[in-house]
Structure 1
Amino acid sequence: MYGLGGAAVCGIVGALTHGGRGARNSALACGAIGAGVGGYMDYQEKKLRENLKNTNIEVERQGNQIKLVMPENVTFATGSAALSDHARNALATASETLVQYPDTTLTINGHTDNTGNDAINEPLSRNRALAVADYLQSRGVNGSRLTTAGYGSRHPIASNATVEGRAQNRRVEILINPDQNAIKAAQQQM
């Protein structure tokens, strides 16, 4: 679904920027690549949604990026970077799909609320991201696909003024993006 929408937008932009006779070819090529990559990501998203539906891990989609949001209460005890049993089970399930779709990169970002100070929150968020990456790698996800970052409390998604908001801000996000192999495969299908 997103793949075709992305292909249409990409094709229109190509037509507008390349004008004249080349516009049609540019639009078709761009649209075909977008559809190929988008289709690859569509299948992966569908599988992740099916497999993670009972885990409390949110699956979000924006363009060709899939985002897995793992709230702290699912993944870690307060102040800890050790994965919970629930997190291990959910990540084991996710890793099966991630291994099946190797033409993606995974950026794993750790986040905290603003309780405490940066001297604690920065390394905690980084260590949580590393714990997720290490576990995925132990389940067969190629380490060359993984990057990690810890942002501490710098990127809240909710207000830190409430208990509920702070809980939402304590999370690990896995950003799944198509890599150059997915793009090349889409180009070869043209």
Structure 2
Amino acid sequence: MAFERLTLSLMTASVLGLAACQQPLPNQANDQTRQGAITGAGVGAVVGVLTGDDNEERIRNAAIGAAVFGAAGAGIGALLDRQEAELRAQLGSGTVTNTGSQLVVTLPNDILFGFDQASVSIASQADLRAVATSLNNYPNSTVNVVGHTDNVGDAAYNQDLSERRASAVANVLIASGVSASRINIVGRGEDQPAFTNQTVDGQARNRRVEIIITPNQ
């Protein structure tokens, strides 16, 4: 019995390893459907192994879990692929990153705001309305609006500024029809730089607002 449990544990670890390490095939760099299916299957297999009373039932449950969670993962991946493509077509500025489980829309602060300001510029409101339209077209998700700054100036001031800017972006999304109950507002201040703060370019790129879209399971 101990050997059988060890075998199941090794099988589970192998499946999870494949799910974590699998890379998209050539010409599929933006296609997260396959990756979502692999990851879901790995999670499903683990759930199945943990819910069986004996070795035979664990193996059966692992197979069922892999199939069910794999299908769910593929569905989420396909959904993210479609929404990503639409956002890329609609946005005039900013970037869209598809992680396989989330979409991250990154908008630079120098586009969104004037210097040391927390009021969204008129020019940026069209992009935010485009994001809002996408969020309304794909309503089954949670949205984190996260403000970031560089490390220039007082840390407490930067924290407050990041919160006010995230709130300003969230308010435009809400005014454009996105339910406030879906949106979380987060200020990170200077604590999570994406680039070095040792250069002017790095500082500029760290001043940003991220709109993180996470499909509900």
Settle same-fold status: TM greater than 0.5: yes
- CA deviation map 1:7-64 (0-9, x unaligned): 1222134336625222221110110111122222222111111111xx2210001122
Report the residue type matching 2:162 in the other structure. S
Q: Which piece of structure 1 moves more, 67-76 or 1-10?
A: 1-10
C-alpha distance after superposition, 1:68-101 (max 9, x if no partner)? 0001121111211011122111101221111111
TM-score (ref. length: structure 2): 0.78
Secondary structure at the aligned position of 1:176 is classed as strand
Partner of 1:51: 90
CA shift at 1:143, angstroms?
A: 0.6
- Per the alignment, residue 8 of structure 1 pairs with 38
In the alignment, which residue of structure 2 is the partner of 1:178? 215
Distance 2:42 2:147 in 1: 36
Contact 2:80 2:100 in 1 (8 A): no
Of 135, 144, 150, the match for 1:113: 150
How many corresponding residue pairs? 178
Deviates more, 1:133-142 or 1:7-16: 7-16
State the SS of the aligned residue for 2:85.
helix
Q: Give distance in 1, aligned partners of 2:169 and 2:123.
A: 12
Unaligned runs of 5+ in 2: 1-30, 50-57
Unaligned runs of 5+ in 1: 184-190
Query: Which one of 90, 97, 117 corresponds to residue 60 of structure 1?
Result: 97
Relative to 1, partners in 2 of residues 1:4 and 1:94: Cα closer, same or farther, differing over 3 Å? same
Alpha-carbon shift at residue 129 of structure 1 (Å): 0.2
Structure 2: distance between partners of 1:16 and 1:163: 47
Match of 1:124 in 2: 161
Q: Percent identity?
A: 38
Partner of 2:133: 96
Structure 1 ranges of 4+ moved more than 6 A: none
Match of 1:187 in 2: none
Alpha carbons 2:80, 2:98 under 8 Å: kept: no
CA RMSD of aligned residues (A): 1.4
Mapped to 2, the partners of 1:13 and 1:154 lie a distance apart of 32
CA distance in 2, matches of 1:136, 1:164: 28
Q: Contact 1:113/1:153 (CA < 8 Å) preserved in 2?
A: yes
* Partner amino acid, structure 1, of 2:77: G
Measure, in 2, the Cα distance between the counterparts of 1:16 and 1:134: 41
SS in structure 1 of the partner of residue 139 of structure 2: coil
Task: State the structure with more CA Rg.
Answer: 2
- C-alpha contact 2:104 2:211 (8 A) present in aligned 1: yes
| SS at 2:93 equivalent | coil
